[in-house]
Structure 1
Amino acid sequence: MPTVMSHAVVGAALGHVTAYRRRPRAFWLMSALLPVLPDLDVFGRAVGIPFYSSWGHRGVSHSLAAAAVIGIATALLLHRRLGAGPAPLAVYFAAVTASHGLLDALTTGGPGVAFFAPFDTTRYFFPWRPIPVSPLAAHFFSAWGWRVFTVELAMIWLPAGVVMLLARALARTLNAAGR
């Protein structure tokens, strides 16, 4: 999996693409947290869920169905606070949550991603897998962890930064034009 930080960066970049006007802090918090949420499945091992089970790592929690449920629930809980309709927020929050599985499918290790669980538990990777799988816990602070982080800087953070800058420039242009 990519690092937790990289999942959050992608969420922030997606937030910039959709936020042509100022958004409340809760919007940005959810934009960073929801892409990280699927990895809570790693705690399933502590309660006996096998790593490669449908309910284990990169299983149901990484599916498009789970992303949709999380997106809808988050939108219903926060749409008034965010001053936006629940439907567009649900689509947005589902997309940022689903971005997690998409990034994981670009990695070199671990189980593939069960995008279509619980209906189909087949695990998938993309044919192009440029991101080395991230070591967990203290192992992240090793040569392997550093290599993963430098690859993520180039493959995730840099493109996300470019997307954010372009989105901000477009938002300024639209706002200046009164749209």
Structure 2
Amino acid sequence: MATPFSHLAVPLALAVALDPDTVPPGLLALAMICAVLPDVDALGLWLGVPYDHPFGHRGFTHSLPFAAALAGAGALLAPALGADPLTAFGVLLVSTASHGLIDAMTNGGLGIALFSPFSHRRYFLPWRVIEVSPFRPSALFSRLGLRVLRSELRWVWAPCGMLALVGWAVRELLGR
């Protein structure tokens, strides 16, 4: 898994790329929650749910169908958040789905059940370039943790920063 910090990079980049009128603060906050929410399945490890179980870590909550369902539920809140429902669905879908895709680029674990509940097969992307994060938060402040954060800066934050910058530049060139 990647660190929770890096899962926040995608909704933050979307908000900058699309502009604050399109992604108001309430929608951004919900997108940030959706981006880290899939790791709620890690609690199952402490409750005795085996890692490789369909509801184990990197199982159903990391899947694309889960992302679509969560985005659909979140889009219902769009009017209260000051956002267009279709835009909210798209931002929440990308934010949630990015969690599993980022984790599928790590160099550890059993893979991601991207199509659960339809298939429990676990996948990695062909590019496994992100150092897998330790489970213990205190380990982030170790030599391993610094290596993980450096990897995430390169493979998550830098591309998301470029996406944000390009989106912002296009908006500026087009005059919104």
Per the normalisation by structure 1, the TM-score is: 0.90
Show CA shifts across 1:77-122 (max 9, x none).
2x11233332332132112100000000100001100000011000
Percent identity among equivalent residues?
42
2:95 is matched with which residue?
Answer: 96
Total equivalences in the alignment: 175
Partner of 1:64: 64
- Indicate yes or no: 2:15 matched with 1:15: yes
Contact 2:105–2:129 (CA<8 Å) still a contact in 1? yes
Instruction: Check the 8 A contact 1:67/1:98 in 2, yes or no.
Output: yes
SS of residue in 2 equivalent to 1:102: helix
Distance change >3 Å, CA 74–CA 22, structure 1 → 2: closer
In the TM superposition, residue 22 of structure 1 has moved relative to its aligned partner by 5.6
Secondary structure of the 1:125 match is coil
CA distance in structure 1 between the aligned counterparts of 2:8 and 2:89, rounded to whole angstroms: 18
CA drift of 1:140 comes to 1.8
What one-letter code is carried by the residue in structure 2 that aligns with 1:109? G
User: What SS does the aligned partner of 2:76 have?
Assistant: helix
Question: Corresponding residue for 2:76?
Answer: 76
Task: Summarize the Cα distance change of 1:23–1:89 in structure 2 as closer, same or farther, 3 Å threshold.
Answer: closer
TM-score (norm 2): 0.91
The match for 1:113 is 112
Q: Which amino acid aligns with 1:135?
A: P
Matched with 1:33 is 33
Which stretch of structure 1 is more off in the superposition, 158-167 or 56-65?
158-167
Q: How far is 1:20 from its partner?
A: 7.0
Q: 3-state SS of the aligned residue for 2:112? A: coil
Specify every segment of 5 or more residues in structure 1 that has no aligned partner in the other structure, as ranges: none
Q: Offset at 1:128?
A: 1.4
Aligned pairs for 1:41-60 within 5 A:
41-60=41-60
